[in-house]
Structure 1
Amino acid sequence: MTIDRQIVDSIERAGIDLVCSVPCNLLGAVMQLLDAGRVRHVPVTREEEGVGIAAGAALAGRRTLLLMQNSGLGNCVNALASLTGLYELPLFLLMSHRGGERERILAQKPMGQAAPRVLDALGIPYDVIATLNDCMRLEEALRATYAESRMRAAFLQPELWSCSA
């Protein structure tokens, strides 16, 4: 099973019924699987647009997830803090984590290093998913988002795709 399939299976088993996504090369296959699956997938052009759609859906009782690169976290900080956070709406942020030691694109590094601290500053707990075994925690974290009615996040490390079967 590929890592992409494992991610989508976790999303489906956790009862997520709406995923907003911003284009990302690493997450492209996940998005294709979502399009073919039973979860409603809404591609958006900017991260804060996804936060707004997810907030409205959460108010209607939907379980939502925003799929994006960690570099997009900076684009939606205000929406996360003043909308989703202020009104205590559950939302899961699932992010490919760019900007690590092996990153070839220099522009990815600043936000790659800052993203965990941004989540800390917003009070959003997060997991780092770096191995196939770590993927088991993803479904638990997704379920906790809705059990606790709060925001949570996970960083998907690039090496996940190199160890995928």
Structure 2
Amino acid sequence: MAETPQVTRSLLSAPLPQIIERLGISIAQAQAALDRNSIELAKAMSETEVEIGDRTYNLLSLGFVPAFYSFTEATVEAKLSFQVSESTETSVNVGVQVGVQYGVFMAAASVDVGYARKFSVSAEGMSSIAARLVSLPPPEIFTDLLKREYQQDIS
């Protein structure tokens, strides 16, 4: 059973702290990319003009705002299982032969002994990472600034 402690050590030394750290860093980088995307979309909306009647408005002045997203939760799930089995087989076969021929007595005995010990170790692992992303309203200061900036354009 020398394999059992080795498998157990392997399973217990899974790099869980590094997995959690990488997940956190990945979420922070993804959040920054989402924020940059919303800012770029706001710039594009401010440059996109629409004619209504004889006046021209950009999309922000008409109340359009970019979507903002945020990660609300992230889950790391790891399932590890291992199975260890041991079996022992013993077999004994005994044979006796006796014979008398021409006044001669002959006897033979045979003993066949077998012993087998089998070990089996199997390990399985499964992991999954899930993140939840939700849409948020634009920051209040952003909408307040837009209202102040474009209030006179709409009136």
Q: Same fold (TM over 0.5)?
A: no
Q: Which has the larger radius of gyration?
A: 2
TM-score range, shorter chain: under 0.3
Q: Between Structure 1 and Structure 2, which shows a larger proportion of strand residues?
A: 2
Q: Between Structure 1 and Structure 2, which shows a larger proportion of helix residues?
A: 1
Give the TM-score normalised by structure 1: 0.19
